[in-house]
Amino acid sequence: MTVRAPAMRDVARLAGVSHQTVSRVLNGHPHVREQTRLRVQAAITELGYRPNRAARTLVTGRSQVLGVVALNTTLYGPASLLSAFELAAAEAGFAVSVGSVRNLDRTSITAVVERHLAHRVAGIVVIAPVESAGEALECLPTDIPLVTVDGDPRRPVPLVTIDQVEGGRLATRHLLDAGHRTVWHVSGPADWFDSAGRIAGWRETLQAAGAEIPPVLQADWSAASGYRCGQMLARTPEVTAIFTANDDLALGVLHALHEHGRRVPDEVSVVGFDDVPDAAYFIPPLTTVRPDFDTVAEASLDLLLAQIDAGVDHTLRRTVSPTLVTRDSVAPPR
């Protein structure tokens, strides 16, 4: 019924050349006469020819596809990263195949990686900033280009990361500089490296300032859990400054504070993390730490392409510093 899609040989026949010449034109090889090139290109457009990437992949052993392993791409961070990465990859001529994982157990991560490998992806990006992702990476063939984003800093794997520790410092110092005696912290899930880094930066800064270090309030990334922590904090009178591990948590905290009649920033100051697009319209507008996802995505692609061109290299690292965005949720204590 439907006709076979035109192949190289059809183009070749129409242009009156060999299929190899068509291949050369397609791949931009030198040593093709301008006139021939034009004839071939004309034939290509006339037939509506589209090269078959599968055949190319088969013979070269490498596809022009990059695999992404991502955990819960509904969160703002991963979603932004994924989107930015996809755009950058497309510009470099690569397609992106995503493998989402709903939870972070090792088997599901391994399964996704296996799927990518079966497709002979040229490289893999792992956006799964949890311990178990690192473990899954251990039992992988070592000859495939791979980059982890926000992965385990202790593992010998190429890594691009936003400087979580610096982010924690930025937020905490800002609150301290505003005059607060200490800063409370609502943290993300314990098994995320992001959480650990932000806690480290927070604690370190408090320590350096000789401030008392309150217990960490452990949450997940959701506004709901932020709200629960916020209720406790709202009932504790000595709390005047809170740093939350992301903006959703901050929203929950803000909500709890509002419910308890503790005004922000007059009575309590809050700093978040992520600079979600909505953050400027929280009540009050949220001071927050802004990671540069575009830069992280570009860096990941760079490290990946470097390995694709020059061979796997486990020593590659890149750290992207976040910046502080000051808005209205921070003020001196009364």
Partner DNA sequence: GCGGTCATTGTTAACGTTAACGTAACGACA
Partner DNA sequence: TGTCGTTACGTTAACGTTAACAATGACCGC
Binding residues (CB under 7 A) for DNA: these are 4-5, 7-9, 16-21, 23-24, 26-27, 30-33, 35-36, 49, 51-52, 55-56, 58-61
CB of 328 to a copy of itself, least distance (A): 11
Using CA atoms, how far apart are residues 11 and 118, in angstroms rounded to an integer?
A: 31
Question: Toward a copy of itself, which CB reaches closer, 32 or 140?
Answer: 140
CB of 57 to DNA, least distance (A): 9
- Per-residue binding letters, 144-183, with a copy of itself (x by CB under 8 A): ----------------------------------------
The residue from 20, 27, 52, 326 that contacts a copy of itself (CB under 8 A) is: 52
DSSP 5-53: PP-HHHHHHHHTS-HHHHHHHHTT-SS--HHHHHHHHHHHHHHT----H
Which pairs with CB-CB distance under 8 Å and at least 24 residues apart come from 50-58? 50/5, 51/8, 51/26, 52/5, 52/7, 57/120
Residue 94 phi/psi, 5-degree rounding, is -110, 140
Question: Toward a copy of itself, which CB reaches closer, 196 or 297?
Answer: 297
CB of 39 to DNA, least distance (A): 9
- Asked if residues 107 and 51 have their Cβ atoms less than 8 Å apart, the reply is no
Using CA atoms, how far apart are residues 167 and 201, in angstroms rounded to an integer?
A: 7
Question: Toward a copy of itself, which CB reaches closer, 99 or 167?
Answer: 99
Using CA atoms, how far apart are residues 152 and 194, in angstroms rounded to an integer?
A: 10
- Asked if residues 67 and 124 have their Cβ atoms less than 8 Å apart, the reply is yes
Q: What residues line the site for a copy of itself (CB under 8 A)?
A: 2, 48, 50-55, 57-58, 63, 65, 72-74, 76, 79-80, 82-83, 86-87, 90, 95-100, 102, 112, 114-120, 141, 143, 222-224, 226-227, 248, 251-252, 254-255, 258, 277-278, 280-283, 285
